[in-house]
């Protein structure tokens, strides 16, 4: 019998949101995404510590930044030995407001991948969707370096990413849901806000429809899921990046998944969104949820990047 996961694969590219190689082997995603938090979690496990030790042995004389990049690429290369598609490797979140530094770091990561035999077509450089990060993507995409714009919480961010030709965006379903649930407090009704009515699902749906209506080729990859219902409500989205726990849950249940999103669907008309700097910053400022979750997400990734620094320094 067909499982929900197998059925989902018919309309959506399934991506593993993990740094766990064994989960990828078992669940067979097409692509995989990583971030500082996932890499930090992985290198503290016995199974992955040899990767850290090898980087320190081979590159212990390099700067901390260079050692970190080599660790990220080592994980990325190992992941690409498992998945047939692409891996997303994140630029240090501390560079989220520095266009030039983001571009330089991305170029260095791509060069390191090339040095170990991985062509750029299999790598997505993951960048926070700040104004500065989006401008970095404009430069990188023009050079043939593909970008995954992360920490997307608003249509304004998504529109600006499409305008610069970003390969892919990652709108964060679960974190949008978290914000609205917290804001509602005791008034929150889980049943009323489930499935297609989930605020995170609605945000991704709106972005997907906007892209398809206006002919943007940037891929939409829903991310940061809290439950399987959110995933199933976005069936048909270009890609969905899903944690091992939820992938396992979907793989354990039989059934068919009907696509909710279709590239040629008839959707409500949405006006073009302004994508100049003033429009971008004004729209973001007006959206309390997007402003707060973007800042919170960057802070969290920065905190884990610093912890990874400490780990690399202590073991040097």
The catalytic site residues sit at 126
How big is the chain, counted in residues?
A: 316
Cβ proximity of 17 and 243 under 8 Å = yes
Strands (E), the chain: 13-17, 31-33, 87-90, 123-128, 147-152, 168-171, 219-222, 239-242
- Residue 13 and residue 237: Cα distance in Å, rounded? 8
Alpha-carbon dihedral angle through residues 118, 121, 126, 129, given to the nearest 10 degrees: 160
Task: Pull the structure tokens for residue 217.
Answer: 């080729």
Looking at 145-295, which runs of residues are DSSP E strands? 147-152, 168-171, 219-222, 239-242
Candidates 294, 304, 256, 238; CA nearest to 40 is 304
């Amino acid at each position: 019998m067909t499982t929900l996961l197998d059925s989902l694969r018919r309309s959506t590219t399934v991506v593993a949101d993990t740094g766990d190689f064994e989960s990828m082997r078992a669940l067979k995603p097409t692509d995989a995404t990583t971030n500082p938090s996932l890499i930090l979690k992985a290198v503290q496990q016995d199974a992955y510590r040899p990767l850290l030790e090898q980087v320190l042995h081979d590159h212990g004389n390099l700067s901390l930044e260079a050692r970190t990049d080599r660790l990220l690429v080592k994980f990325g290369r190992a992941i690409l030995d498992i998945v047939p598609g692409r891996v997303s490797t994140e630029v240090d979140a501390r560079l989220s407001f520095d266009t030039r530094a983001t571009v330089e770091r991305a170029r260095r990561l791509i060069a390191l991948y090339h040095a170990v035999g991985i062509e750029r077509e299999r790598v997505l450089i993951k960048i926070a969707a700040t104004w500065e990060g989006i401008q970095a993507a404009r430069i990188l995409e023009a050079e043939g370096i593909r970008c995954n714009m992360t920490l997307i919480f608003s249509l304004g961010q998504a529109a600006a990413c499409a305008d610069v030709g970003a390969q892919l965006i990652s709108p964060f379903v679960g974190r949008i849901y978290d914000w609205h649930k917290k804001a509602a407090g005791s008034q929150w009704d889980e049943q009323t806000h489930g499935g297609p009515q989930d605020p995170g699902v609605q945000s991704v749906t709106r972005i997907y429809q906007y892209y398809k209506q206006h002919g943007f080729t940037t891929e939409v990859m829903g991310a940061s899921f809290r439950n399987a219902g959110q995933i199933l409500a976005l069936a048909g989205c270009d890609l969905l990046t899903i944690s091992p726990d939820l992938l396992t849950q979907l793989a354990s249940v039989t059934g068919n998944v009907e696509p909710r999103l279709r590239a040629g669907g008839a959707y409500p008309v949405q006006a073009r969104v302004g994508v100049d700097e003033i429009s971008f910053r004004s729209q973001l400022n007006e959206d309390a949820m997007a402003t707060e979750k973007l800042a919170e997400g960057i802070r969290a990734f920065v905190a884990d990047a610093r912890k990874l620094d400490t780990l690399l320094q202590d073991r040097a």
